[in-house]
Amino acid sequence: MNNTIKFKIDGKEIITENGKTVVEAAHQNGVYIPTLCNFPGSFSKGSCRMCTIKVNNRFMTSCTTPAAPGMEVESNTPEINEFRKSIIELLFVSGNHFCPSCEKSGNCELQALAYRYQMMVPRYPYSFPLKKVDASNPKIIKDQNRCVICQRCMKTIKTEKGEHYFAYLKRGNVLEVVMDKELGKEMTDELAKLAMENCPVGSIIYKEVGFVEPIGTRKYDKQPIGSDIDV
Amino acid sequence: MPKKITIEPVTRIEGHGKVTIKIDDNGKVRESRLHIVEFRGFERFVQGRPYWEAPVLVQRLCGICPVSHHLAAAKALDVIVGAGTGDGLTAVGEKMRRLMHYGQFFQSHVLHFFHLSSPDFLFGIDADPAIRNVIGVIKHHKDLAVQGVMMRKYGQEIIMHTAGKKIHGTGAIPGGINKNLSIAERDLLLNGTDPLNADKMVEWSVAALEFFKVYHKSNATLVDTFAEFPSNHLSMVRKDGALDIYHGVLRAVDADGKRILNDVDYQDYDKYIEEEVRNWSYMKFPYLKHLGKEKGWYRVGPLARLNVCDFIPTPLAQKEFEEFKAYTTGKPNNMSLHYHWARLIETLHSAEAIRDLLKDSDLQNDDLVIKGEKTNKGVGVIEAPRGTLFHHYEINDNDQITLANLIVSTTNNNEPMNQAVNHTAKSFMNGQMEITEGMMNAVEVAIRAYDPCLSCATHALGQMPLEMKLVNANNEVIDSKTK
């Protein structure tokens, strides 16, 4: 049975296999669609809405939409880009993101997206929420000021038995992603470093090694986010 | 009727200050004050942050000499991570930091002399303010202006190649640095296209010094008597007494040259220095504890450093230092405008030190960081361009900062600047009921000599228009002028 699917994004023909999401297919074919909560290899929930596209004049999240034959997808349009930019701005104003002193600067996906979408000043008022820093774990710091509730740590950082190190606490606008303090004590160095790497912002920090990468050599110093995918 | 004159804000300085001068019925100056009217509070909001953020966070106090804060914080954290008290780093760690510091010393001193102060020397203190500014310098003394711009650019290039960025870099980290200097970077800085190379910077520094000395010769009375008053002087010096802006011990001398603080370890700075709060300024008043508030205040910065050190460890600057010392027969120099002379000698020293460091192959080593047993308290001291800078941090077992205390260079110079304002006001305004622009500028010239960074001192950001108010004894504004 032929497993190949063909559809279009912004008029460009995309060829992929059955079972791929639109964002996976796009990236396979050299078309960048921005993502934040989506993490390759883990189940997507479409919670951050960064990967919003338009299909048949309806807004959808490309990380949860399966690619289907003959689809006509709009992605890189002024309307959608403005929408994505507004999401970035909302994330900035709903937390306390001070890039100048954040060690994730240059490696931060949120910051890189803000540059890509040319965010100057958020159109929304800053909320300056009072957030806590949990530094009680010997290996990592969980800084709630910078957390964007993407769930990437919840989905990818687990024990060998599959127990989650990170989980939700509280609900609604005070929802937080916190670390299991007991389980956290056993976390290996390797996993702690991976947790920092998988966090798209500077909310999970591996202790005592901040700023070791010189300016100019950090991930997004070299090339803007998405330029490794864009053809 | 008694009057109060307000000059607000003071111009051509870094930050926002205000001067008030009270005049009695006979036109005599009774009291003058330099008020610092802004507040930011870095010491408070750094609390709770991970300690390794401090060198990057706290340097945001300032855009002129952030490297000073960056390095003072990093030095304090070296102690916390067990990398020794300032001299325990690897060779490349210490030398890269020194290069960064000399680069910023050079650019900051050049900025002050060429951009902020040279208009006073070139056009005169009471010249038309429409000409007496940096645009006037560019228009009427183009070669000098170009030198100033290019020298500053060179200093900034040094900072960029050591810290990663010209302003607010990340080069110094607890226990060392995050990069060495590549051969290509070294060659660029050492032998770059004219004029951006080390030899030219030394040559131009000599020329700037010559320019000041010629001015001094033909205006000796003004330069020697303007805001001249006795004081103590404090600075860090190398253990052998050499001028050292990166590391050493604390030394202070009184107006006659007698040691009043004898090469003490700055980790114990709080045993020797106390800060007084006065209700009319956000800037504190530090003093030497054992001498008390009245007699314990001191000057810091270029003049103090040359009064305190025994010699300068680079040949051309040492020769100039000897001439400088001979002028006061080896005694401490208490003349405020001689800050400019001292500053230019230090500019030359920086250029020479940069050239020497760039030839040192240790800068290409790879052992960037060293760490030992962790402690929960560290003090870092550095000689910033404007004077001695103290950073003190304490952390908890979770690596979060619990206490931060900064005594910034300009804060150390608070009382001396007030004294300088008072002396100038008395010299220029006694018996004068009308205040001219020239008189206002004279007061500013006195403050400017100290190159204050009021943004740093209160940890605040400033603007620089000038407003002057006349206020009577009942504090009613009877006249005001703005420029």
pLDDT digits (tens, 9 = 90+) for A64-109: 999 999 999 999 999 999 999 999 999 999 999 999 999 999 999 9
Of B165, B178, B399, the CB nearest to A211: B178
Contacting residues of A for B178, CB less than 8 Å apart: 211-214
Dihedral sign, CA of B340, B106, B311, B316?
negative
Which of B56, B178, B369 lies at the smallest CB-CB distance from A213? Answer: B178
Neighboring chain A residues of B57 at a CB cutoff of 8 Å: 100-101
CA atoms within 13 A on the CB side of A222: 9
Question: Which long-range contacts link B123-128 to residues 24+ away (Cβ below 8 Å)?
Answer: B125/B222, B125/B438, B125/B441, B125/B442, B125/B445, B126/B436, B126/B437, B126/B438, B126/B441, B126/B442
ipTM score for this prediction: 0.94
| Stated pTM of the model | 0.92
Interface contact flag, B165 A215, Cβ < 8 Å: yes
CB B141 within 8 A of CB B131: no
Query: Measured between CA atoms, how close is B167 to chain A, in angstroms?
Result: 11
Domain boundaries, chain A: 4-76, 84-209
Question: Do the chains contact at B49 and A205, CB–CB below 8 Å?
Answer: no
Domains of chain B plus CATH, in order, are 3-40+433-482 (no CATH), 42-412 (1.10.645.10)
Q: Are B195 and B234 in contact (CB under 8 A)?
A: no
Question: CB-based burial of residue B297 (10 Å sphere; 0-12 exposed, 13-18 middle, 19+ buried)?
Answer: buried
- How many other β-carbons are positioned within 10 Å of the β-carbon of residue B269? 18
Return the DSSP state at B453.
Answer: B
Q: Chain B contacts of A209, Cβ < 8 Å?
A: 52
Comparing alpha-carbon positions, the chain B residue that sits nearest to A213 is B178
Any idea how long chain A is?
231
Question: Which residues, in sequence order, are CB contacts of B29 under 8 Å at separation 6+?
Answer: B21, B22, B23, B422, B425, B426, B429, B430
Rounded to the nearest angstrom, the minimum Cα separation between A186 and chain B is: 16
List all residues of chain B from 51 to 110 with a beta carbon under 8 Å from chain A: 52-53, 55-57, 60, 81
pLDDT means per 10 residues, chain B with 483 residues, are 69 66 79 71 91 95 88 98 91 98 96 88 83 86 93 98 96 98 98 96 97 94 92 97 98 97 97 91 90 96 98 98 97 95 98 98 98 97 96 97 92 89 82 74 83 55 44 59 48
Fold of A4-76: Ubiquitin-like (UB roll) (3.10.20)
Mean pLDDT to the nearest integer, A133-162:
96
To the nearest whole angstrom, how far is the Cα of A222 from the nearest Cα of chain B?
14
